[in-house]
Amino acid sequence: MIGIIPWRSADEELDDLYYMAIRLGVEKQAAELGYNVVKLSQINEQHVHELAGLLAISKFTQEKLEEFHQFHPNVCVIGSNFPLNDYDSVNTDFNQATELAINHLLHLGHKNIALIGAEESHNMHGYRNYKTPTVNTYIDMMQHYQLFNKKFFILKKNSRLDVHVGEQLTEMALKQWKHTLPTAILSVNDAVAIGVMHTLAAHHIRIPETISVMGINDLAISQYISPALSTVRVFTEEMGKTGVELLHQRITRSEIARRVFLSTELVVRHSTSSPRKKI
């Protein structure tokens, strides 16, 4: 039996399909390998004898992971951006995902590219200034091309990455930008991008004619909104499957800790186009 320790509560997971898709991948691969799966809200000594291993999904602190490891020697972490020297881990290459998104917008001719997003409060190394791979790559690329504009860098600290935050930050950004709008907005994930699109539509700003909008994740709903969202596909279900495979190998033969990054894929739909030429 494998224990799943989710970072999101059941209700929060319903609002965040990213984590739900990871868990579904875990359950599918576990079944293929002959493991039953139990979802744990907390762990205790009893689990050491009942479970073959633990899967920790997402952004747990270093202290929390050490606590899990004290209860069970076989731990795999799915979805953490932090280097984990003592644990097997799997994540998506969000640096590559961000490069794909920005290169797509640059190829279309955009130069005024805004970033709208948030950084969640769970920082494994609290004594460090931490930026997510998406934020770091955006800053690096825009500075490299001498296109970075601080007023187009809209980032909220200690927040969830959901539709409401996208709406809230876009409302704030429009007040700051006034009549000097970017031609494109990169959102840190699809949920935030959908919130961005809601607010732009409420202000009668046309997508993509006035502002192109780009997401990262490729949630199932992203192809059905209007206009359909251009994004970068993250293989969330495969993350879950790979996590189970790593844990299975840890259970069956002890090895050095391994860190696996999955690649991503550009998905071009209708929310991005070339910037409108000034008359």
Summarised one tens digit per residue, pLDDT across range 42-67 is 666 666 678 999 999 877 777 888 88
Domain ranges of the chain: 2-92+235-262, 94-233
Average pLDDT, the chain: 89
Task: In whole angstroms, give the CA distance from residue 165 to residue 194.
Answer: 10
Tell me whether domains 2-92+235-262 and 94-233 share a fold: yes
Q: Which of the four CATH numbers 3.30.300.20, 3.40.190.10, 1.10.10.10, 3.40.50.2300 does domain 2-92+235-262 have?
A: 3.40.50.2300
Across 124-133, average pLDDT: 61
Encode 129-164: b = buried (16+ Cβ within 10 Å), e = exposed. eeebbbbebbeebbeeeeebeeebbbbbeebbbbbe
Q: Is the pLDDT of residue 18 over 60?
A: yes
Summarised one tens digit per residue, pLDDT across range 174-207 is 999 998 999 999 999 999 999 999 999 999 999 9
Q: How confident is the model at residue 132 (pLDDT cuts 50, 70, 90)?
A: confident
- Consecutive H or E run containing 95: helix 94-108
Q: Which of 88-97, 109-118, 193-202, 248-257 shows the lowest per-residue confidence on average (mean pLDDT)? A: 248-257
CATH T-level fold of 94-233: Rossmann fold (3.40.50)
Q: How confident is the model at residue 240 (pLDDT cuts 50, 70, 90)?
A: very high
Across 13-34, average pLDDT: 84
More confident residue, 83 or 57: 57
Query: What pTM was computed for the model?
Result: 0.90
Q: What is the pLDDT of residue 59?
A: 73
Q: What is the pLDDT of residue 127?
A: 43
Task: In whole angstroms, give the CA distance from residue 196 to residue 68.
Answer: 37
